[in-house]
Structure 1
Amino acid sequence: MSDGLNYKFLFDTFFVALSGVPITLIVTFVALLIAVPAGFSLALTRINRIPVLNRFAQVYVSFVRGTPIIIQIFIVYSSVPILLTSIFTKYNINMNVYDVNPIWYAFIVFSFNTTAVLIEVFRSALSTVDKGQLEASHSVGLTNSQAYRRIIIPQALVVAMPNLCTATVNLIKATSLGYAMSLQEITLKAKVAANVGYNYVEAYIDIFLVYLILCSLVEFAFKLYEKRLSKYKPANA
């Protein structure tokens, strides 16, 4: 074991870790693709206090907030194969569930977790839009969907963007826990490379740098989009 850092390994493994970025981005994109509409819909049920759905959303958010995401990963990664095995056995389906790519479990876990986060993001953002604007939209002949698409959502997005950015960055960082499902993302690739010579310090530095660069780029993209949305910001804001 060397006394200092192995700079050659540090350099080489940086690109190994970088090769896990596509998987990280795919998981992030799919999770957001599912979580954004689901979170927005459930936020509306909370805003409008729809009896059963409002209560469901409250319990759902409390459950996700109250349990570590690593526990959610272990539950899904262990329980889903058992459930699928029992279903396949019952209906004589010849398929080994343990051959399923772990990325599918990642889609389930991170979509489930991010939806709960976005429910609260959208709920708080929608609450800032004056209810009178919806009534004014109806008075000029706009339907509910037209009013939300043209007036309510753009204004709510202005308020929601900082929290959406935070939720996305946190989601990207949370995908590092995908190693627990053998997901070939940034962390697992760097750690596997480190196993040969026990260069874990260098591997963790590389992981740190890759996530720092990736999250900084995402934050920059959100800031650009936030500037585009500034035209919807109320004059007195």
Structure 2
Amino acid sequence: MQNSFDFQYVFELLPTLFRYLGVTMEMALWGFVFALILALGLALVRVFKIPVIQHLAALFISFFRGTPLLVQLFLLYYGLPQISPLFLMDAFTAAVLGLTLHFAAYMAESIRAAILGIDKSQMEACLSIGMTRLQAMKRVILPQASRVATPSLMNYFIDMIKSTSLAFTLGVAEIMAKAQMEASSSFKFFESFLAVAVIYWIIVLFFTRIQHLLEYKLNEAY
């Protein structure tokens, strides 16, 4: 049994894993876009306290924040099709949907907190000059709230990238799934999972840098 660490194997495996990076990033990007749209809707429903719907939004947020992502993925991919064939979906779609619903619940609370953090006098000033609440929200409140919410939203995006690794449990051929297959065939488990860890680390460092530049740009006027 070979116990020595195989550096050459890691370097040879990295290019193979990078070929599957596109699938990982596609899941994360689609998931983030859909989650952001859903989160904004949930946040506005709770901020405006729309009757009935605000309670449904709160229930949605409570469920998806209070249950593990892996359980949610299994419910979507394996559970829902047992209820009706209409819920049948491929593994990639189920993974994106799971990421969307899970992170929308967290992002909604960040957006809501950012909106509520804007001084109420600004909404009152907008209403006093004839704007509707929606116009004031669109033109004045949300642009300021976006600056406040950006750091937490970027953190959720980075977390979403790492969470795509759970998609391999549904059979999605992304970098984690490829690392698992390579480890099983070569029995070099440490080397294989170290290689995939390095890739995730590089991705996170890249987007962390993007986050810092974005925060600096948004704060220039302040």
Q: Shared topology, TM-score over 0.5?
A: yes
Residue identity opposite 1:212 in structure 2? W
| Aligned equivalent of 2:154 | 165
| Aligned equivalent of 1:2 | 2
Residue identity opposite 1:25 in structure 2? M
Q: Which runs of 5+ in 2 are unaligned?
A: none
Residue identity opposite 2:171 in structure 1? S
The secondary structure found in structure 2 opposite 1:156 is helix
* 2: CA distance, partners of 1:224 / 1:150: 24
Q: 1:130 aligns with which of 119, 128, 137?
A: 119
* 2: CA distance, partners of 1:202 / 1:65: 34
Q: Which runs of 5+ in 1 are unaligned?
A: 89-96
How big is the shift at 1:142?
Answer: 4.1
Runs of 4 or more consecutive aligned structure 1 residues displaced over 6 Å after TM superposition: none
How big is the shift at 1:143?
Answer: 4.5
| Aligned equivalent of 2:13 | 13
| Aligned equivalent of 2:79 | 79
Compared CA separation, residues 84 and 11, structure 1 to 2 (3 A): farther
* 1: CA distance, partners of 2:140 / 2:205: 30
The secondary structure found in structure 2 opposite 1:45 is helix
How big is the shift at 1:84?
Answer: 4.8
CA distances 1:167-214 after superposition (whole Å, capped 9, x unpaired): 111111111001101111111111111211111100111111111110
CA distances 1:17-63 after superposition (whole Å, capped 9, x unpaired): 22221111111111111111211111111112222121112111111
| Aligned equivalent of 1:63 | 63
Q: 1:189 aligns with which of 171, 174, 178?
A: 178
- How many residues get paired? 222
The answer on 1:147 being equivalent to 2:136 is yes
Residue identity opposite 2:45 in structure 1? T
CA RMSD across the alignment: 1.9
The answer on 1:50 being equivalent to 2:50 is yes
The secondary structure found in structure 1 opposite 2:52 is helix
Percent of residue pairs bearing the same amino acid type: 28
Q: 1:220 aligns with which of 184, 209, 222?
A: 209
* 1: CA distance, partners of 2:47 / 2:134: 16
Alignment of 1:104-123 (within 5 A): 104-123=93-112
